[in-house]
Amino acid sequence: MALISMTRGNTEAAIEAAALRSDRFRQEREPDWKRLELIVTRMEKGRIGKLSDADLLELPVLYRTVASSLSVARETSLDAATLAYLDSLVQRAWFLVYGPRTTLWSWLRRFFGGEWSRAVRAITPEILVALALMVAGTVVGWMLCAQDPDWFYAFVSPELAGERVPGATREVLREGLFGKANEDGLSVFAASLFSHNSSVSILMYALGFAFGVPTLMLVVQNTTMLGAILWLYNGVGLDYEIAGWLAIHGTTELFALLLAGAAGLHVGRSMAFPGELSVAEAAAAAGQRTATVMAGVVLMLLCAGMLEGLGRQLVDVTATRLAIGGGMLVFWLIYFFLFRHVPQGSED
């Protein structure tokens, strides 16, 4: 019994000592905890205007102080309530110190308000090179098919071609351009087009890290198909109709692929000619510059997929198709090369 009483007494003494140590620990550091909690709570509620400059300057210092308190609390096995409180406070403060500084709406406002167009203008030399390659690829596809129609099958896959092959009659080719308004599954078709085009654009961009050479080849390859199709419809006198069929979505889709190819070439050029930076540093810097461009490319391809899978099928008038496609082209040109506004501020 004496041994049990002694053990119980030791246990109670240990608990008492731990409680005393926890209370002392809290009393010494609690003012910093409360101050940090006040700052964090106000920022989380969007009341940053009520904070002084001193509060904002002290935020990272207080965060590190409380994080240190949490580390000590864990090592000394303080009470669970204190540990839970400190852990929650540190997580909330970490997000404000190191996490995103803007809301989603603020990011979208800045992105569409000038950051995207500015990023596109920054790679203008590569855009001109990619445009020249796309024109060259189209011309090559046309000329090779004109010399030997068998080239058409090398540029256009059987799944994509369908009945649109050399030797097809004018009626068959024209039928593929019109009369699709009542077909089902247009939204599924739009989704599949978006998936395919986004894969191609991302591949163009990603292969830029091989010094841009594969990107050059992909840009040319994807436009030889365009040249082959234009040659095919020109042979039966459907130039106007195929122009409208392509324009309604093509001005957006081809523009997006142009930007993706230019972004890949920009990365490749930065690696090939890194200047004073190492190749890895140059690639990282170019990747950061072109990431904004590629985010916009995905949005453009989503828009093109909707125009191709829905708009083109529902609009059967060539003049209307050309007007829509031309309007989209004018819109992109104005936005990318004339629109300069970048909204200020990051907090709503």
Task: Render pLDDT for 251-292 as a digit per residue (tens, 0 to 9).
Answer: 999 999 999 999 999 999 988 888 888 888 888 888 888 999
Write down the pLDDT at residue 163.
83
Length reported for the chain: 348
Q: Structural domains in the chain?
A: 2-98 (1.20.58), 105-337 (no CATH)
Q: Residue 74: pLDDT band by 50, 70, 90 thresholds?
A: confident
Q: Is the pLDDT of residue 4 over 60?
A: no
Q: How far apart are the first and last CA of the chain?
A: 69
Write down the pLDDT at residue 187.
52
Write down the pLDDT at residue 290.
92
Q: If you average pLDDT over residues 108-131, what whole number do you get?
A: 91
Q: If you average pLDDT over residues 124-129, what whole number do you get?
A: 95
CB neighbourhood size of 240 (10 A): 12
**Cα 134 versus chain centre, distance:** 23
CA neighbours closer than 13 Å in the CB half-sphere of residue 195? 6
CA neighbours closer than 13 Å in the CB half-sphere of residue 211? 5
What mean pLDDT is reported for the chain? 82
Q: Residue 319: pLDDT band by 50, 70, 90 thresholds?
A: very high
**Contact assessment for residue 101 and residue 59, using Cβ atoms and an 8 Å cutoff:** no
> Residues 21-35: pLDDT tens digits?
666 777 778 888 888
pLDDT > 90: percent of the chain: 33
Residue with tokens 């459907």: 238
The closest alpha carbon to 260, from 214, 328, 326, belongs to: 214
Q: Is the pLDDT of residue 248 over 70?
A: yes
> Residues 75-110: pLDDT tens digits?
776 677 778 888 888 888 887 777 655 566 777 788
**Contact assessment for residue 265 and residue 124, using Cβ atoms and an 8 Å cutoff:** no
Average the pLDDT over each of 13-17, 18-22, 61-65, 201-205 and give the range with the smallest value.
13-17
Average the pLDDT over each of 38-47, 117-126, 209-218, 226-235 and give the range with the smallest value.
38-47
Which residues, 6 or more positions from 342, have their beta carbon under 8 angstroms from its beta carbon? Answer: 110, 113, 114, 115, 118
Q: Residue 133: pLDDT band by 50, 70, 90 thresholds?
A: very high
pLDDT > 70: percent of the chain: 83
Residue with tokens 């990272």: 60
Q: If you average pLDDT over residues 123-148, what whole number do you get?
A: 95
Write down the pLDDT at residue 259.
95
Q: Is the pLDDT of residue 193 over 70?
A: no
Q: Between these two residues, 177 and 257, which has the higher pLDDT value?
A: 257
Which residues, 6 or more positions from 133, have their beta carbon under 8 angstroms from its beta carbon? Answer: 216, 219, 220, 223, 261
Question: Which structure tokens are listed for 160?
Answer: 């994509």
Question: Which structure tokens are listed for 62?
Answer: 């207080």
* Whole-number CA gyration radius for the chain: 31
Q: Residue 197: pLDDT band by 50, 70, 90 thresholds?
A: confident
Q: Is the pLDDT of residue 8 over 60?
A: no
**Rounded CA separation 324/248 (Å):** 6
Write down the pLDDT at residue 15.
47
**Rounded CA separation 315/320 (Å):** 7
